Structure 1
Amino acid sequence: MVGGKRRSIFVTLAFLMLMGVAVYFRLWAIHYNISSDDTQLLRRQFDIANKEAMDESAEWRLRYDEEVDRTKKCLQELQAFQESSQKGEVASGVNHKLAILQKENAILLERVETLKRELEEERLKCSSRYMN
C-alpha cells in the first residue's frame, strides 16, 4: 500500500512536472513571437524615423540652397549698383531727369489750377442762367 501510494505520488509529480515544462515552452513560444513582432515594430519605427530625418535634412538643404541663391542675387545687385554709382554720368542723368520731371509737375499743377478756375466760372455761369 505504501509502495502504491508512493508510486501514485511519483507519477502525479512527474505528470505535473511534464505539464509545467509544456506550459513553460508554450509561454516561451508566445514570448518569442511577441519579441519578434516587437523587433519588426522597432525596425518599422526606425525606418519611419530615418525617412523623416532624411526629409527634414532635404528640406534644410533646400532652404540653404535658396538662401545661397538669394545671397548671390543680392551680391550681384550690389555690385551692379556699386558699378553704376561709380559712373558719374548715370547719377547726373538721373538728377537731370528728376529736375525735368519736377518742372513738368509744376507746369501741370498750374494747368490744373487754371482748369479748376475755368470750371468754377462755368458753374457760376450755369447757375446764374438757371436763376434768371
Structure 2
Amino acid sequence: MMVMRRPLLIGFVILMALGLSVYLRLWTIDYQISSSEAELMRKQFDLANMEAVDESAEWRLRFDEAEERATKCTKELKRVKENIGDNSMTKRLDMLQKENINLLERVETLKRELEAERLKCSMQKP
C-alpha cells in the first residue's frame, strides 16, 4: 500500500509545483499589466490635471478682466455722480441757459432790425 501511495504523492507534489508555477506566472503577467495600467492612469491624471490648471488660469483671467471693467465702471459712475451733485455744474448750466435766452433775444432784435432795414431799402427804391 505504501508503494502505491508514493507515486501518487510524488505526482501530487509535481502537480502542486506546476500549479504554483502557473499561478506565479499569471501573477507576474497581471502585475506587469497592472503596473503599465498604473503608468497610463498616472499620465492621464497628469494630462487632466494640466488641462484643469489651464482652464482655471483661463477663468482667473476672465475674472480679472471682468473685475477690472467693473472697477473702471464704478469709478466712472462715482465721478459722474460727483459732477452731477456738484453745485458748480448746476450753476454753470443755469448760466448757460440764461446766456442762451439772452442770445435768442439778441437774435430776435437783430431779425427785427434786418427787417426794418429791408423795408427802408424797399421804400427808397423808386
TM-score of Structure 1 vs Structure 2, range by shorter chain: 0.5 to 0.7
Gaps of 5+ in 1: 108-132
Q: Which amino acid aligns with 1:33?
A: S
Identity %: 7
Where in structure 2 are the equivalents of 1:42-57 lying within 5 Å? 42-57=45-60
CA distances 1:29-57 after superposition (whole Å, capped 9, x unpaired)? 11111122112211211221122112111
Where in structure 2 are the equivalents of 1:65-80 lying within 5 Å? 65-80=68-83
1:4 aligns with 2:7: yes
CA–CA distance in 2 between the matches of 1:27 and 1:69? 62
The TM-score, its normalising length taken from structure 2, stands at: 0.66
Shift of 1:91: 1.6
Q: Which amino acid aligns with 1:5?
A: L
4+ residue runs over 3 A deviation: none
1:62 aligns with 2:70: no
CA–CA distance in 2 between the matches of 1:12 and 1:47? 52
Deviates more, 1:39-48 or 1:19-28: 39-48
Pick from 73, 84, 106 the counterpart of residue 89 of structure 2.
Answer: 84
1:19 aligns with 2:22: yes
SS in 1 for 2:78: helix
Evaluate the alpha carbon distance shift between residue 5 and residue 35 of structure 1 in structure 2; reply closer, same or farther with a 3 A threshold: same
Shift of 1:94: 2.4
Gaps of 5+ in 2: 112-126
Shift of 1:96: 4.1
